[in-house]
Structure 1
Amino acid sequence: MIKDTSAQDVAVESKPNIKKIAGIILVSLLFIFFVVKALVSGASVSHSFERSSMQIAQVEMGDLVRDIVSNGRIVAANAPQIYSPEQGFVSLKVKAGDEVSLGQVVATVDSPELANQLKQETSEMERLKGELARQELDARSQTLQLTKLLDIAQVDLEAAQRENRRAHASMKSNLISQIDFEKAVDDLARAELTQRHAKEEVSIAKERLAFELASAKSTVSRQALVLEELKRKINDLNILATVKGVVGNLIVQQRALVKKNDALMTLVDLSAYEVELNVAESYANDLGIGMQAEINIAGTTFLGKLSAISPEVKNRQVTARVRFDQQQLNGIRQNQQVSARVLLESKKNVMKVRRGSFMQSGGFYAFKVEGGIATKVDIQLGAISMREVEILSGLTAGDEIIISNYDEYSKADAFLLN
């Protein structure tokens, strides 16, 4: 009988198969490689780029303030120019940089034409006054003559009335003839007619004389207005300061011949300042009166509002004025350089990403980063600020995109990141 081999069996302790493990790892790496290769092939990846050469930002939710950053300078809010009121020779009473007070005489204009015209008009005024006095005397004289005629007509009427009464009494007693009686009646009728016409003539003559006197007085009054205007013009030849401040610059020389409305000098009101900003033409349509602005002056930020926007574009820039509170500001100077930030719009809880050079491609697409692959996706941008840009569609919060320039890989649909 043959015995089994159990006596010959020896228990052997199992050891890991290194070759087998290595094979499994190799197979796994090959699998990952082929998966990545398949993904890359599916995404039409043909290039790879260094991640370190790119800027990557994360899409997030938050508030977005649309703004414009601009440089500007401090200017006087009120800097009026002084003009010559008439033609003549100007005498300047101040120099550039001199302090002036409100109402101070800063220049005078010597106008020989106005002085001569004032003399002529004064003489004409005296003549018109004499003419008015003469007409008043003539009116009194004519009124007296007409009154005399009226009084004589009244006396003749009363005499004719007495004769008529006497004729009637005599006719009853047959003391006078019929012819004498009729003559007395005719004389009374003639006297009544003469008295009535004299009264009407006196009335008309008085109205005519009153009209002539009124016309003469109106001429004198008009001449008085002419004299008053001339005196005002001569008084305005002493040119007064319209603000309290300093003389900015002189536009004419001493004793220069100037024409009417020629600019003489500029005054600067140092009690009120504004900021004059130069904004790029592309933002001109976004600006509006009353928009808030942050002004940085000597390291301190002040809040202000747009008070004026120029309708004219110069050197592809639009000039805007910002008015701000100056009560707590000291040491401010004319033409001092400042920086400002105009707040165009504020949006709450929007999807946004840091602004970058990727917008130069038009802002219609972005490269979304997932793992080691960057894939082109279509996006839609909204409000744009100096620091951030709103994402309307194409991405979700938490996504990462490349925000640097796309010139090197703009034609690729996807690429690897090393």
Structure 2
Amino acid sequence: MDIQREIAATPLWRKYWYVPVVALMVLATYQFKSVMGNASFIVEENKLVTATVQKGNFRVNVRATGVLKPLNIRWVSSQVSGRVEQAFVKAGALVEAGDILMQLSNPELRRELEKARWEFEAKKAENHAAFVALESQLVDLENSVVEAEYSYQSSKLKLDAETQLFEQKNGAVSALDYQRSQLAVKQQMQYWLSQQQKVEKMKANLAATKKAQQARLGLVENNYQRVKDQVAALSVLATTSGVVQQVSLELGEQAQVGASVALIADQHSLYAELQVQEMKVSDIQIGQSVVIDTRSNEIFGTVSRIDPAVNAGMVQVDINITSELPNEARPDLTVDGLIEVSNIKETLYVKRPVFAPRYSKAGLFKVDSDKQFARKQQVKLGQSSVNQIQILSGLSVGDTVIISDTSNYQEHQEVMIN
């Protein structure tokens, strides 16, 4: 037979179990909303860096690093080839113009000097012998002129006497003898004149020969002097006063003609070479004031040159130093430079936030007065300095903004500071 089963009634708590859960969720949401407000993200206060907006004169500076360089620098090179026999200076030595830096040796060059010297002496002796021979010939010709003059004068005296007798017509002198005497005078006169011409020609020849011999002797002497100068150049001398920055050769090395021997710089006249980021160099102009930090002292200068080329994202800017150099200043000393680009009067500015480029719009989190919440504010940024940036709009004097990294909650409009 069939047994009738009794159906048990379902308890209410099982039927409506979700009601208290929903109620608790609503209560929790209400409590969370009352605490969080409109904030959708929580940040820890100890991880935040804030800054207050200020108003005043805003100095726009560009920071750059670089080194000090000498204005007067000179490479000393070898004028001859030779092996380094002795080095008299090292890097850092103070030298004067004319000091010996290095001694080279070249035996072949010294043998060539000895040969050139003997050639010069031989040529001088040859020239002297040739001059003596020509002068002896000139003396002989001059003696011939004197003899010809005496012969002419003798013939002239005889002709004068015969002329007186011939004019008396007493027959003491025949017409034939008288004519012979006249002819003899003419011959002696012509001979005397020809001898004088020979003397003049000889003098001209002697002068031309002397000039030619002197030219040949000068050629030999120049060769001798050239080799002599080359031997003297084996002693490499400092061409200017200063501090030796670098010595390029060591003992025993072979130096070639034109090879660099040493680098000498004037340590009392320096300038700074700063490397500026290409994005910032557009604000820099010739003549702007610069403060150079040597880590121990500050020196002052002005922008003197801006390189037109960009190298690895950097532009070289030369600084002319106008103040007195401190004791630690020396070539290749690493320095920091602060270039004053402009000075904006009475403007808003704040410490530069992370990821806030100049002349842009950025969402900065403005902290409430109770420092419990921070809301994103669209801010228009202007000129930037090393650590500060100009505020064009969006903030007021006294506003506090977060300047640390906000990339983790940048998409949120409001955050809670815990």
Q: TM-score, normalised by structure 2?
A: 0.65
TM-aligned CA deviation for residue 201 of structure 1: 2.5
Q: Identify if the C-alpha distance between structure 1 residues 100 and 296 changes in structure 2 by more than 3 Å, giving closer, same or farther.
A: closer
TM-aligned CA deviation for residue 89 of structure 1: 0.8
Q: Identify if the C-alpha distance between structure 1 residues 141 and 98 changes in structure 2 by more than 3 Å, giving closer, same or farther.
A: same
Q: Which residue of 1 aligns with 2:23?
A: none
Q: Which residue of 2 aligns with 1:90?
A: 84
Q: Which residue of 2 aligns with 1:315?
A: 312
Count of aligned residue pairs for this structure pair:
361
Which shifted more, 318-327 or 111-120? Answer: 318-327
The counterpart of 2:233, out of the listed 218, 231, 236, is 236
Q: Which residue of 2 aligns with 1:251?
A: 248
Equivalent residue letter for 2:65: N
Q: Which residue of 2 aligns with 1:410?
A: none
Distance 1:200 1:352 in 2: 107
TM-aligned CA deviation for residue 118 of structure 1: 1.3
Could you tell me whether the CA contact under 8 Å between 1:248 and 1:268 is conserved in 2? yes
Equivalent residue letter for 1:259: Q
Q: Which residue of 1 aligns with 2:326?
A: 329
Distance 2:181 2:154 in 1: 10
Distance 1:82 1:61 in 2: 55
Q: Any idea what SS the aligned residue of 2:302 has? A: strand
Could you tell me whether the CA contact under 8 Å between 1:250 and 1:264 is conserved in 2? yes
Q: Which residue of 1 aligns with 2:204?
A: 207
2:161 equivalent to 1:166: yes
Q: Which residue of 1 aligns with 2:18?
A: none
Q: Identify if the C-alpha distance between structure 1 residues 374 and 352 changes in structure 2 by more than 3 Å, giving closer, same or farther.
A: closer
TM-aligned CA deviation for residue 294 of structure 1: 0.5
Could you tell me whether the CA contact under 8 Å between 1:76 and 1:269 is conserved in 2? yes
Could you tell me whether the CA contact under 8 Å between 1:61 and 1:397 is conserved in 2? no
Q: Identify if the C-alpha distance between structure 1 residues 88 and 310 changes in structure 2 by more than 3 Å, giving closer, same or farther.
A: farther
What are the equivalent positions in structure 2 for 1:30-179 lying under 5 Å apart?
Answer: 62=57, 65-74=59-68, 80-94=74-88, 96=90, 99-102=93-96, 103-174=98-169, 175=171, 176-179=173-176
Distance 1:95 1:193 in 2: 79
2:192 equivalent to 1:189: no
Equivalent residue letter for 2:79: P
Q: Which residue of 2 aligns with 1:276?
A: 273
Distance 1:326 1:91 in 2: 43
Equivalent residue letter for 2:289: Q
Q: Identify if the C-alpha distance between structure 1 residues 283 and 204 changes in structure 2 by more than 3 Å, giving closer, same or farther.
A: farther
Distance 1:172 1:248 in 2: 105
Distance 1:395 1:182 in 2: 139
- 1:287-324 Cα distance to aligned partner (Å, 9 max, x none): 56654311123264321234565566432323344454
Q: Identify if the C-alpha distance between structure 1 residues 302 and 167 changes in structure 2 by more than 3 Å, giving closer, same or farther.
A: same
Identity %: 16
Distance 1:164 1:98 in 2: 97
TM-aligned CA deviation for residue 179 of structure 1: 3.9
TM-aligned CA deviation for residue 257 of structure 1: 1.5
Distance 1:138 1:257 in 2: 50
Q: Identify if the C-alpha distance between structure 1 residues 81 and 286 changes in structure 2 by more than 3 Å, giving closer, same or farther.
A: farther
Q: Any idea what SS the aligned residue of 2:63 has? A: strand
TM-aligned CA deviation for residue 417 of structure 1: 7.9
Q: Identify if the C-alpha distance between structure 1 residues 317 and 195 changes in structure 2 by more than 3 Å, giving closer, same or farther.
A: same
Distance 2:282 2:219 in 1: 54
Could you tell me whether the CA contact under 8 Å between 2:288 and 2:303 is conserved in 1? yes
Distance 1:289 1:91 in 2: 49
Distance 2:311 2:148 in 1: 90
Q: Identify if the C-alpha distance between structure 1 residues 166 and 95 changes in structure 2 by more than 3 Å, giving closer, same or farther.
A: closer
Could you tell me whether the CA contact under 8 Å between 1:81 and 1:265 is conserved in 2? yes
TM-aligned CA deviation for residue 236 of structure 1: 2.5
- 1:4-45 Cα distance to aligned partner (Å, 9 max, x none): xxxxxxxxxxxxxxxxxxxxxxxxxxxxxxxxxxxxxxxxxx
Distance 1:373 1:314 in 2: 39
Distance 1:384 1:277 in 2: 19
TM-aligned CA deviation for residue 86 of structure 1: 1.0
Could you tell me whether the CA contact under 8 Å between 1:84 and 1:109 is conserved in 2? no
Q: Any idea what SS the aligned residue of 1:254 has? A: coil
- 1:134-185 Cα distance to aligned partner (Å, 9 max, x none): 1221122111121122112212321332233234223323324444433333
Q: Any idea what SS the aligned residue of 1:314 has? A: coil
2:293 equivalent to 1:296: yes
Could you tell me whether the CA contact under 8 Å between 1:87 and 1:111 is conserved in 2? yes
TM-aligned CA deviation for residue 265 of structure 1: 3.8
Equivalent residue letter for 1:89: R
Structure 1 residues not aligned, in runs of 5+: 1-47, 408-415
TM-aligned CA deviation for residue 56 of structure 1: 9.9
Distance 2:194 2:281 in 1: 85
TM-aligned CA deviation for residue 252 of structure 1: 3.0
Q: Identify if the C-alpha distance between structure 1 residues 134 and 284 changes in structure 2 by more than 3 Å, giving closer, same or farther.
A: farther
